[in-house]
Structure 1
Amino acid sequence: MWQVGLCVVAVVTILISQWLYKWRNPKSNGVLPPGSMGLPFIGETLQLLIPNHSLDLHPFIKKRIEKYGRVFSTNLVGRPMVITADPKLNNYLFQQEGKEVELWYLDTFEKVFRLEGEARPNAVGRIHKYLRGTFLTLFGVDSLRTKLLSEIETTVRTNIHRWSTQGTIDAKKEAANDKDKLEKVIRAMLKERIACPEEKKGDFLDRAVKDLNTDFFLTENFILSIIVGALFATVESISTAIALSFKLFAEHPWVVEDLVAEHDILLKNRENKESPLTWDEYKSMTVTMHVINEVLRLGNVAPGILRKTLKDINYNGYTIPAGWAIMMVNCTLQLNPNVFKDPLAFNPRRWKDIDPQTASKNFMPFGGGIRQCAGAEFSKAFFATFLHVLVSEYKWTKIKGGDVARTPMLQFQDGMYIKVSKKHA
């Protein structure tokens, strides 16, 4: 019997060894980029989740770039992946949307919306195109210019006033709470903007389903939920940027002085000091945009931009297999010392000397290509309006906290506590 037992153990050992070998050496029609698949099932996920208490690139990515180069393979949450910090490859991938790569909505999303098999080709692109177009119609430049900007200002004024009555607050937590309080307002705005006569409601939904050419039933509530989710994700990133700005302002008070000077000039040029913020005023905020750019440059909220390969991609002697995930780490561009001198320093004035072409190639806080975040202009307008109201009418003091950590998302582990009060109270 012991001989049978030894045979069983031997067979199991061989099978496990073969499985481990396949895990560590995934199939490919060419040479994979260098790297490691990590542990079975979890890959190298745990290393990515180790907190990094710095605004610098996460060590998981930084160390592997130093070891393997700007393109390397790994496995995260059980998914084989190539991470690229190579500007040329990333730019190429941005141009290959719908051809060699597509948005990766995670495998669960694909199953929920049945984006598999015969239904898969171009379905993800159609969904994204439809929802992006709807989002831009509702929250794009035209809507911001004609109506939304004043609504944003009203919301910002209400929220900052509430902060000023609460004593010491956690800026990150309150900004996130403000986002939740906006839900009913935003849904009402959405209802108003996509409103159509009740008798034509069916035509609207039928047209939406036809445009998407998918077999799931698209309802008005589904449209609202997806758009609200996208909008809240946008505001969530801005809430983190707002909290980060309080930390950076406390460390660099001269930046606040620059902002105050700019917005004092803006108010002096108004005929009516009580008038709401106009689009022309927003577009004239050069110093404010420099500050926003610098906060976004340092405050990369997400570790990278996810895509999925539709076919094998050959690059620089390596092959990225079809079906693999790709994470494009563009934040390495934003910390490039050849473009941004002393890259970890917070210095909004540096943007005076950076020409638009250089910025477009090395600064991508909202992604790039045809899949650039549809909420980019909304985010900047929201942030600019917040700074306008804040520096024009309020003063604040940092109380405690402000230590950042990437896990890998940017977080404030000990909060960002401030006290806000009216300037002339």
Structure 2
Amino acid sequence: MAASIIFLFFAIITLAAGILLRRKHRHRNHRLPPGSLGLPFVGETIQLISAYKSDNPEPFIDQRVNRYGPIFTTHVFGEPTVFSADPETNRFFLLNEGKLFDCSYPGSISNLLGKHSLLLMKGALHKRMHSLTASFANSSIIKDHLLLDIDRLIRLNLDSWSDRVLLMEEAKKITFELTVKQLMSFDPGEWTENLRKEYVLVIEGFFTLPFPLFSTTYRRAIKARRKVAEALTLIVRERRKESETEEGKKNDMLGALLGSGNRFSDEQIVDFMVALLVAGYETTSTIMTLAVKFLTETPLALAQLKEEHDQIRSKKSNSEAPLEWSDYKSMAFTQCVVNETLRVGNIIGGIFRRAMTDINIKGYTIPKGWKVFASFRAVHLNPDHFKDARTFNPWRWQSNTEVTCPTNVYTPFGGGPRRCPGYELARVLLSVFLHRMVTQYSWYPAEEDKLVFFPTTRTQKRYPIIVKRREDYNKLCKAQ
């Protein structure tokens, strides 16, 4: 028995040494960026996950940048990876999507989104579908068609609030309902809420091992994904029949996908809508929550924001009067808050890509097949680019320095061919939400909550707050 254990030990050591020698031999002609590939198989994945599960994930990148420079080699999630905290290199990665680099996502995400999702599309089809998505979320569409719905649905949700509210959950309801309305023209109801509950299960499976046998969460996510696909397929088939008549045509995303000239299958359309619903649900709702959290912790900024929105509301006939495009365009300080929330919050911390060929950059070679990671977070929180970078300071956007900062330094929505097509819609949604929030309510945290960064950026307890109607809160304060 002891001899077997000793033999197994030496076999593992020999295998590990062989892997290290093969790594070294394979890349001996390449000048790789400096760094460490860590342990065999696991690399530095444990260090990365441990950092992102802490209150402060920055040291994983900070320590390596200090030691190796802004471009370094590591080994995470089973693959050798070049990390970049350099704005120019990040821009190079983004702009060469489809030329030198290919998009690359974990198997669990790919499987759950579907092979026809926008995230996984490539080439001419991706360009076409990205353009179609952007056309339903540009300024003119928001101004003429979406703003009223955005304001109405946000007001509808906020009117139901009382006492203790889990802000992140409420924000997710709002963003999901708005996305469903934009995609399929459905108003909130039992069907949309049931669909949202299944989506929660799908998203929970994104950062699990993509093996149903070993992961209960992934198995549950696959089952939920099947239910979502079945529900959406019924809608697509119904709308396909209706679209054959002039009366049945609707001016929404599904209508465009079913329009003349488009020959998409039901499966392609369902996969496409699944990905768009996920994108709208998770990221925008988190930004809404973080904006309120940061403002609550920065009373001067909250006071100035309230003043701006009280002025807008004072020009309306009553509190129910809808917002107009001119109101949105007058929200100067609000846009500073939006910019700063996106910079500090870093909902999209960075993007992975895979090198399609050997790539020479800044004196280094990135071997074909290696992954690269462009870290937006590392750039946004670098004091070389933003003074007191880790402090929430919306007034910085009133100065010329930040307002005119290079596009490769401020990239909350990514860049290049895969820049988020709904970036303008997200900004409008957050602005309208803040308007209704600060003019209707006063609030304070129900309990202490903190940010966590793995598997996604969020608050640990979904940010519970105690809300009071502003008029009631002011009466209470006077009475005390």
Q: How does the TM-score come out when normalised to structure 1? A: 0.83
Q: Is the 8 A contact 1:29 1:321 kept in 2?
A: no
Corresponding residue for 2:308?
Answer: 262
The residue that corresponds to 1:147 in the other structure is 145
SS of the aligned residue for 1:328 comes to strand
Residue 180 of structure 2 contacts residue 277 of structure 2 at CA under 8 Å; is this kept in 1? Answer: no
Is 2:115–2:271's contact at 8 Å kept on the other side of the alignment?
no
Displacement after TM superposition at 1:144 (Å): 0.7
SS for the counterpart of 1:43 is coil
Distance 1:8 1:395 in 2: 65
Matches within 5 A, 1:180-191: 180=176, 184-189=180-185
Q: How many residues align?
A: 406
Q: Which has the higher contact order (CA 8 A, sep 6+)?
A: 1
- Partner of residue 245, structure 1: 291
**Correspondence 1:20-39 to 2 at 5 A:** 20-23=20-23, 27=27, 29-39=29-39
1:155 Cα offset (Å): 1.4
Matched, 1:293 2:339: yes
Deviations 1:110-145 (A, max 9, x none): 997499xxxxxx961334213212211222222211
Aligned partners of 2:51 and 2:59 also within 8 Å: no
Residue type of the alignment partner of 1:321: P
For 1:305-349, what per-residue CA distance to the aligned partner results, in whole angstroms no more than 9, with x for missing partners? 222222211112210012221110122222232342211221111
2:420 pairs with 373, 378, 396, which one?
373
Q: Which amino acid aligns with 2:104?
A: W
Q: CA deviation at 1:16?
A: 4.7
Supply the distance in 2 between the matched residues of 1:382 and 1:70 (Cα, whole angstroms).
35
Q: Which residue of 2 aligns with 1:336?
A: 382
Residue 50 and residue 253 in structure 1: after superposition, are their counterparts in 2 closer, same or farther (change >3 A)?
Answer: same
Alignment partner of 1:391 is 2:387? no
Label 1:220 to 1:401 Cα distance change in 2 as closer, same or farther (>3 A).
farther
| Structure 2 equivalent of residue 125 of structure 1 | 123
What residue is the counterpart of 1:171 in the other structure? 167
CA distance in 1: counterparts of 2:15 and 2:26, whole angstroms: 16
Name the CA shift for 1:105/1:6 in 2 (closer, same or farther; >3 Å): closer
Q: Does 1:315 align with 2:313?
A: no
Aligned partner of 2:467 in structure 1 is 420
User: Once the two structures are superposed, what CA deviation does each residue of 1:67-91 show, in whole Å capped at 9, x if it has no partner?
Assistant: 2211111222112211111122122
Match for 1:303: what amino acid? Answer: G
Q: Answer yes or no: is the 8 Å Cα contact 1:65–1:71 preserved in 2.
A: yes
Partner of 2:349: 303
Runs of 4+ in 1 over 6 A off after TM superposition: 5-12
Structure-2 residue corresponding to 1:118: none
| 3-state SS of paired residue (1:346) | coil
Shift of 1:408: 5.6
1:94 corresponds to: 94
**Secondary structure of 2:447's aligned partner:** strand
Runs of 5+ unmatched residues, structure 1: 116-121, 210-217
Asked if 2 retains the 8 angstrom alpha-carbon contact of 1:300 and 1:331, the reply is yes
Question: Is contact 1:235-1:379 (8 Å) kept?
Answer: no
Closer/same/farther in 2, CA of residues 317 and 376 from structure 1, 3 Å limit: same
Q: 1:55 to 1:357 in 2, by over 3 A?
A: farther
CA distance in 2, matches of 1:70, 1:258: 37
Secondary structure of the 1:139 match is: coil
Overall identity of the aligned pairs, in % = 31
The whole-number CA distance in structure 2 between the counterparts of 1:146 and 1:173 is 29
Which residue in 1 is equivalent to 2:457? 410
Equivalent residues of 2:348, 2:376 under 8 A apart:
no
Which residue identity lines up with residue 98 of structure 1 in the other structure? G
| 3-state SS of 1:150 partner | helix
Question: Which AA in structure 2 matches 1:405?
Answer: V
Q: In the TM superposition, what is the alpha-carbon distance from 1:281 to its structure 2 partner?
A: 1.5
- 1:353 aligns to what? 399
Across the aligned residues of Structure 1 and Structure 2, the Cα RMSD in angstroms comes to: 3.6
Structure 2 length as normaliser, TM-score? 0.74
Q: Distance in 2 between matches of 1:171 and 1:123?
A: 34
TM-superposed CA distance for 1:30, in Å, is: 1.4
One-letter code of the match for 2:147? L
* Counterparts of 1:387 and 1:26, CA distance in 2: 54
Is contact 2:338-2:427 (8 Å) kept? yes
